[in-house]
Structure 1
Amino acid sequence: MKKLLTVFFILFQSSYNFGFAQTYVISNVNIVSMENNQVLKNQSIIVDDGKILEIVPMTDPFDFDGNQIIDGKGSYVYPGLAEFHSHIPVAQNGDSQLQEEAMWLYLANGVLHVRGMIGHPSHLDLKARIVNGEIAGPRLFLSGPSFSGGSVSTPEQAAQMVRDEKTAGYDHLKLHPGLSMDEFMAISKTAKELDIPFGGHVSLEVGLEASLKNGYKSIEHMDGYIEAMIPDYSRVLDPEIAGPFTMLLVDEVDLSILPELVDLTLENKVWMAPTLTLFDRFFGWKPAEEYRNAPEMKYMSAQQIQSWINAKTPYEEKGILTEEYVQPYLDFRNKLFMTLHNAGVPMILASDSPQVFNVPGFSIHHEIDLMSKAGMSNFEILKTGSVNAAKYFDQENEWGMIKVGMSADFVLVENNPLEDLNTMKKPVMVVMNGKVYDRIELEKQLNRIEANHKR
């Protein structure tokens, strides 16, 4: 035991300083590779220069000295999860504290791949610092500043905005509501010419059908589907009648339209980022104040938590967020989620963090819980956060599975996540691009973040 702790310490010290050993072994593990739904029992993973060099059974001999071997103690290993709808904090006046804290919150929860969905130039700096090894963090895929009724004024300006974001180095475009059809088409045409993916909300003037047919890579929040099934679209356009995300009109949905929308989604190869937890928490009927002291809120500032309470309270005061209104809406969203999934629409794991009561990293586990309750299998849930996330950016040969030649991005937990989803809430160890972070280091960083926001 003393020798094992020494090994952890040696590897950890070097990894934390980003000068980690070029080659090492994690032995005595069971691997959920995500190539299929089988578990490879009693294996060793050999990591070299940040990649998986070899996977060998424990019965096969290998030649490594003790300082290069970590005993996995029979833990289970799976590819790191994704958060594919993140609102990465913005560095204020060069202060990147909240950004760096968010990165550690993701790592501590086994979230190793993050798609930012509201961009800022400071995010590009953050990504560069992670890539260069200056700070710890997941692999980032960044959307630029959003396209919305507030940021877009003409089709020409919208097209230029696409060109500017591509030149700046963003990986993705994010669309918010309020775009006219002409503005949307200018964004679509230019994005296709520059080969930069885009997705987001569905503007009411554009509608779901045009969004699906004209290049959306992902629909966020399953937006637009309810609206597309309301026979009297004029009611959708009135926010007082429709409520947030058309919540108040769910009983007017014509389900006979859904098969056509599902076919259209499949035909155009559009992905779905459901963000079930956003609606469960932001638009759910549990009072805002009850979230103030939820366990993970200790990693957020009092100001941030209050802003979330302030965002939800007006809906409560209007009487919108009652169980009578909300539960049928959440039930319908679960049904829509499973209908799309069962039809073969590819899903990506996304929780919209940090957003109303969704703390980075922790909210992914809330999302996983809700996906499971909706009826998705454990294997398919893991797939949304690994294989699917990699495929979204055409990087399925680089990460997303535990496979020889892929990046060493994986998580060790006590139990088999194919049988126990809760085990993923407390990683024993996280390996990101070959860098090793054990539970001691993850707890140290969580404690530091909590201390920063003591109240």
Structure 2
Amino acid sequence: MKWLKGLLAIVLGLPLLILFIALFALFLENKSTSYLKIKDHPEWENQSWCIRHVNIIPMNQDTVLLDQDLIIEDGIITAIGSNLEAKNLKVIDGGGAYLSPGLIDMHMHLWDRHELGLYLANGVTSVRSLLGMPFHLQVKDEIEAAEILGPDFYTSSPQLSGPEDGDPLKKPVSSPEETRALIQDYQNQGYDFIKTYNLLEKDCFDAAIAECEKLKIPLIAHPSFKVDYEYHMQPGISSVEHTEDIFQQALDYQYDREKLDLVIADYAQSQQAHCPTLTVFFNLSEIYRLQEDFLKREQNHYINPFIEFAAGDYERHIAHLEADSSAGDRIWKQHQFHLKIVKKLHEAGAFIICGTDAGIVGTAAGYSIHHELEFYRQCGMTNYEALRTATWNPSKVHPQFKDCGSIAIGMKANFILSSQNPLEQISSLEKPIWVMQKGRKLEAKSLSEFEAKAHDRSNFIATAVRVLKYMFWDK
């Protein structure tokens, strides 16, 4: 019977061992991100300043306000002008550098707290998380309570999809009643938005739009293949994601210019917000072009290790390339077509908001927004027009963003100070002199530390625990 007792001890002890490993991994990760704790950095406590001698890029108009002063009190701009009284505030000499609003990434996915620092290091001071899980509500609460430093963080619910969607990260719904109940639950839990996905049936989609309007919670749509594309132009939907889905859903994978013109006209007439996420598809095309060298790219060192492993994007697409040597050319052609679509949208006066899909397919948090803005410039936008998609435009989509995206009295003190005028040299935003988040001044030394701490981080197990908990335990 000794062997039976030994086996029983193993069977009973294994779950406890797994639980211990999981809790210890989470403890180590929390410790490794302690550099974001505000209480440990007295220099981040102050949120009131007088900034002198800066050239302001307000972004609510295409201009530069030369040699200005700003008064910031408790993280809010209270005065802009010349030779303002400092009111016993600490003074920052801007030295004639350029002050512009912090950038906003309207489509990203957060896997760990390290990524919060990466966003700030790249001048991204507000984000819209679009694959919600309970971990994000915890992060949101920590940022709002000033426990940790991070961009203004707003998150969607888990993604609502149809019952045939086998992705364990999605939440399948099979009836309007189930859809409405889930949306009510998500709002009560504290999610800022509802996110729908590509296999949501029309009756459930209708119910989702009606319930979101009733509860006054915004709905964000990854286009569903279960409805016509023009269905997404209705005002009950706050924004429509992914230019690639114009090609895949609206055009049915065809380079159909007449159908495209109809889609462009729908966007221009409805003024529906469109979030292109060109960067993530470009990175997918880079797998085909670079193959093994794709994994050696510098930005891959800033991707969450569990997500990079679990998603299997590289292995899947390399297998596709090995089975079909022409696949790379097709993917590159599709990326080029995405650029043409955004160019047409812009020329037609469509309303575009900047989003990158950071967090998947080798798309690194923070860095990706600079790539996205460069793609918009390739689509014919001026620097001002491109920057507007990541500042002023998002402030018009959701009430959560109404007090950011421009430099004006009453707005949050979310800034980037750059050595050059970004309206002339947009790349100057990639290396800020400093970043300000709700009045907290983050020097270049801190920004570099955020990058270093996130480089090749070892939180594989901790992320796996969170994701698996969400998949098999959380509602």
Do they fold alike, i.e. is TM over 0.5? yes
Q: For the structure 1 residues 69 and 164, does the alpha-carbon distance in structure 2 shift closer, same or farther, using more than 3 Å as the test?
A: same
**Which residue matches 1:41?**
66
Tell me the distance in 2 between the aligned counterparts of 1:299 and 1:260: 40
The residue type equivalent to 2:135 in the other structure is S
Which structure 2 residues correspond to residues 14-413 of structure 1 after superposition, within 5 A? 16-17=41-42, 20-57=45-82, 60=83, 62-63=85-86, 68-89=90-111, 98=112, 100-149=113-162, 150=165, 151-213=172-234, 215-222=236-243, 224-227=245-248, 230=251, 236=252, 246=253, 249-250=254-255, 253=256, 255-284=257-286, 285-306=288-309, 307-319=312-324, 322-394=327-399, 397-413=402-418
Q: How far is 1:341 from its partner?
A: 1.7
Q: For the structure 1 residues 75 and 228, does the alpha-carbon distance in structure 2 shift closer, same or farther, using more than 3 Å as the test?
A: same
**Which residue matches 1:4?**
none
Tell me the distance in 2 between the aligned counterparts of 1:140 and 1:411: 18
Question: Which stretch shows the higher mean deviation, 281-290 or 411-420?
Answer: 281-290
Q: Which deviations, in whole Å up to 9, do the C-alpha atoms of 1:262-283 show, x marking residues without a partner?
A: 3322443311000111111114
Q: How far is 1:395 from its partner?
A: 5.4
Q: Which deviations, in whole Å up to 9, do the C-alpha atoms of 1:10-64 show, x marking residues without a partner?
A: xx9989348633532222211111121111122222211111121222xx26346
Question: Which stretch shows the higher mean deviation, 425-434 or 325-334?
Answer: 325-334
Q: Which deviations, in whole Å up to 9, do the C-alpha atoms of 1:333-360 show, x marking residues without a partner?
A: 1111111122222111100011111100
User: What is the DSSP-based 3-state SS (H/G/I as helix, E as strand, rest coil) of the residue aligned with 2:411?
Assistant: coil
**Which residue matches 2:22?**
none
User: What is the DSSP-based 3-state SS (H/G/I as helix, E as strand, rest coil) of the residue aligned with 1:143?
Assistant: strand
**C-alpha contact 1:300 1:453 (8 A) present in aligned 2:** no
**C-alpha contact 2:104 2:126 (8 A) present in aligned 1:** yes
**Which residue matches 1:241?**
none
Q: Which deviations, in whole Å up to 9, do the C-alpha atoms of 1:436-455 show, x marking residues without a partner?
A: 10101111222222263499
Q: Which deviations, in whole Å up to 9, do the C-alpha atoms of 1:115-136 show, x marking residues without a partner?
A: 0101111211110100110000
Q: Which deviations, in whole Å up to 9, do the C-alpha atoms of 1:216-249 show, x marking residues without a partner?
A: 221111254335654xxxxx4xxxxxxxxx3xx3
**Which residue matches 2:450?**
445
Tell me the distance in 1 between the aligned counterparts of 2:280 and 2:263: 23
Q: How far is 1:180 from its partner?
A: 1.8
The residue type equivalent to 1:277 in the other structure is T
The residue type equivalent to 2:319 in the other structure is P
**C-alpha contact 1:80 1:386 (8 A) present in aligned 2:** yes
**C-alpha contact 1:305 1:357 (8 A) present in aligned 2:** yes
**C-alpha contact 2:417 2:432 (8 A) present in aligned 1:** yes
Tell me the distance in 1 between the aligned counterparts of 2:208 and 2:60: 36
User: What is the DSSP-based 3-state SS (H/G/I as helix, E as strand, rest coil) of the residue aligned with 1:431?
Assistant: strand
The residue type equivalent to 1:349 in the other structure is C
The residue type equivalent to 1:290 in the other structure is D
The residue type equivalent to 1:49 in the other structure is D
Q: How far is 1:258 from its partner?
A: 3.0
User: What is the DSSP-based 3-state SS (H/G/I as helix, E as strand, rest coil) of the residue aligned with 2:231?
Assistant: helix
Tell me the distance in 2 between the aligned counterparts of 1:14 and 1:77: 27
Tell me the distance in 2 between the aligned counterparts of 1:214 and 1:104: 35
Tell me the distance in 2 between the aligned counterparts of 1:304 and 1:321: 28
**Which residue matches 1:9?**
none
**TM-score of the superposition, structure 1-length normalised?**
0.84
Q: For the structure 1 residues 55 and 174, does the alpha-carbon distance in structure 2 shift closer, same or farther, using more than 3 Å as the test?
A: same
User: What is the DSSP-based 3-state SS (H/G/I as helix, E as strand, rest coil) of the residue aligned with 2:157?
Assistant: coil
Tell me the distance in 1 between the aligned counterparts of 2:148 and 2:240: 32
Unaligned stretches of 5+ residues in structure 2: 1-36, 166-171, 461-475
Tell me the distance in 1 between the aligned counterparts of 2:38 and 2:181: 47
The residue type equivalent to 2:141 in the other structure is A
Q: Which deviations, in whole Å up to 9, do the C-alpha atoms of 1:129-148 show, x marking residues without a partner?
A: 00110000011121001011
Q: How far is 1:317 from its partner?
A: 3.0
**C-alpha contact 2:109 2:129 (8 A) present in aligned 1:** yes
Question: Which stretch shows the higher mean deviation, 69-78 or 407-416?
Answer: 69-78
Q: How far is 1:194 from its partner?
A: 1.6
- What percentage of aligned pairs have identical amino acids? 29
**TM-score of the superposition, structure 2-length normalised?**
0.81
Tell me the distance in 2 between the aligned counterparts of 1:295 and 1:229: 35
Tell me the distance in 2 between the aligned counterparts of 1:107 and 1:415: 19
Tell me the distance in 2 between the aligned counterparts of 1:122 and 1:34: 33
| Paired residue total | 413
Q: For the structure 1 residues 454 and 130, does the alpha-carbon distance in structure 2 shift closer, same or farther, using more than 3 Å as the test?
A: closer
Q: For the structure 1 residues 317 and 396, does the alpha-carbon distance in structure 2 shift closer, same or farther, using more than 3 Å as the test?
A: same
1:415 aligns with 2:384: no
